[in-house]
Structure 1
Amino acid sequence: MSAEAQVGLGEMLGRTRRSFWGWRGRRPFWGGLLTMLGGLPIMYFPYANLTLGTMTIRMATTAGAGSLIIGVLLVVLGLTMWFQPHSRIFAGVAAILLALVSLVVSNFGGFVIGFLLALLGGALGVSWAPARPAAAVAPGG
């Protein structure tokens, strides 16, 4: 690769990074990310087989389907916060409620990891507010 190609690549990466930062700034990015990450352990643990040496531990419960539904809904709510930022309050409140329900339904909310991530993500989604447009500067002042 030539030096000229590397310079063009650096400019393209810089433009892509600035574009991503702009996209991220116009929506509750961290709330959506934490909500999606909270749904993963809630979905995973009821169906996981943990192996310790020759012993297999299965966390299957009768609430496996409920855990799957709660986890999928949390992932969908996180994506909603990203791609429909005007629905952030609904998505945040729904994520908080689902996180609370997951304590009872799915192995203490994915062993409390998923519960805490979803609860924090929902709170960030509710509390996020779009930036106010910059005030126009009057000429000469």
Structure 2
Amino acid sequence: MGGDVLSAAASRAALARAWFRAFRRTRPFWGAVWLVAGGWTVLRLSLSSVQLIVSTGFGALAGYLTGGGMILCGLVPLVAPRQRYTFGLIGSVLAVVSLVVSNLGGFLLGMALGVLGGAMLVGWGPKRPRRSRLQEAR
């Protein structure tokens, strides 16, 4: 009886692994990961108290907007891969803007990750189907 539970758990894990592999291969996964990591870095290094943000005004709010925008631009292509060009470009522009508005773009790390992720989103293409041996022989 204990073996049945373990084999069922192993088969569920194998199915989950296969689903994630198929998901990762049909979407610009790694570009999205790097863009979200860059946005999180910019956002995390921009965090301050609410009182400081209210008293400072747009200068303090800009870090939140660029970091949050980068995270959003990284997540949308995972849901809609056809939008990778638009959100890759917007994410890259937000990463470069974060250099000016948010602690040197998350101390350059967030900006670099964002530009890398945006470039990977724009450069990603769907996997082409393999040719059959009959087509290769022609």
More strand by share: 1
Map residues 10-49 of structure 1 onto 2, 5 A cutoff: 10-48=10-48
Query: CA offset at residue 81 of structure 1?
Result: 1.6
Unaligned runs of 5+ in 1: 50-57
TM (norm. structure 1) is: 0.84
Instruction: For 2:38 and 2:48, locate their aligned partners in 1 and report how far apart those are by CA, in whole Å.
Output: 16
Counterpart position of 1:6: 6
Q: Secondary structure at the match of 1:94?
A: helix
User: Match of 2:103?
Assistant: 107
Q: CA deviation at 1:29?
A: 0.1
Offset from partner CA, 1:72-127 (integer Å, 9 cap, x none): 11111011121111010111111111111110110000111111111110011011
Contact 1:31 1:81 in 2 (8 A): no
Q: CA deviation at 1:136?
A: 4.3
Tell me the equivalent position of 1:68: 64
**What residue is the counterpart of 1:54 in the other structure?**
none
Runs of at least 4 residues off by over 3 Å = none
Please state if 1:121 is matched with 2:121: no
- Equivalent pairs counted in the alignment come to 131
**2:91 aligned partner:** 95
Percent identical pairs in the alignment equals: 32
**How far did residue 137 of structure 1 move?**
4.8
Secondary structure at the residue paired with 1:27? coil
Displacement of 1:134 in angstroms is 2.3
| AA of the residue aligned to 1:3 | G
CA distance in 2, matches of 1:64, 1:84: 31
TM-superposed deviation, 1:40? 1.0
Q: CA RMSD in A?
A: 2.2
TM-score (normalizing by structure 2):
0.85
| 1:3 CA drift (Å) | 1.5
